[in-house]
Copies of this chain bind each other. A is one copy, B any other.
Amino acid sequence: MRELEERILKDGRVLPGEVLKVDRFLNHQVDPDLMFQIGTAFAHKFQDAGVTKILTVESSGIAPAVMAGLAMHVPVVFARKHKSVTLIDDLYTAEVYSYTKKTSNHISIAKKFLSATDHVLLIDDFLANGQAVQGLFEICDQAQATVAGVGIVIEKVFQTGHQLVEDRGVRLESLAQITSFEGDRVHFASEKTTD
């Protein structure tokens, strides 16, 4: 998605450790008009996937997920993060390790919001090591729901998350695919090789 790539080049910052900081428009300050375009792009890509529900994780996933839900007219559920989880009968839970923060969190959703008849579109702001998406897969499995696809705003294709989604055999659509960082420069998969 061209507008997104241009925005990353304009407002993103590359930090040590191949971290891309996009807090100017995506995950701290949010540009609602860009989010609307992002939601519309997801709706277009998954228009034939029979999506009945969108699932994401708080907090950074909420804005793109809700905009996709608006464009697709389906409900959005955001999983909540907890430091620990006491097993409660009415929750689906999974453990998610964050490589950035070097901590484990549990994520959970209320069982009543996901069922075996659902075709779920998973949406998140980033795909890197794929730990959050893996946690959402586990929650869908517990509910026996079908994963209809994975929609990612920014993907770092050189990390392990891409393969993890492919191994599951699920369709992955990322609106910006970063292939590498070169100093503070960002390279996208969409670039011509002759650049």
Contacts from A to B (Cβ < 8 Å) = 23, 25, 28-33, 35-36, 58-59, 62-63, 66-67, 69-70, 73-78, 80, 109-110, 113
Contacts and interface: CB of A to CB of B under 8 A. Distances in A.
Main secondary structure of the interface of A (DSSP, over half): mixed
Contact of A69 (B30, B77, B113): B30
A35 B28 CA distance: 20
A66 B35 contact: yes
A147 B73 CA distance: 33
Contact of A75 (B30, B36, B62, B76): B30
Given A30-B76, A33-B70, A36-B70, 11 more contacts: A28-B77, A29-B76, A30-B69, A31-B75, A32-B75, A32-B76, A58-B58, A63-B63, A63-B66, A66-B66, A67-B70
B69 A32 contact: yes
A131 to B, nearest CB: 19
Nearest to A71: B32
7 contacts: A25-B75, A28-B77, A30-B77, A30-B78, A35-B66, A59-B59, A59-B62
Q: Enumerate the 4 nearest inter-chain pairs by beta-carbon distance, A residue then B residue, closest first.
A: A32-B69, A58-B59, A32-B70, A62-B62
Contacts of A70: 32-33, 35-36, 67
A69 B30 CA distance: 9
Nearest to A68: B32
A67 B109 contact: no
A46 to B, nearest CB: 15
Nearest to A30: B76
A92 B105 CA distance: 26
Given A58-B59, A110-B23, A30 B66 contact: yes
Contacts of A33: 70, 73
A28 B113 contact: yes
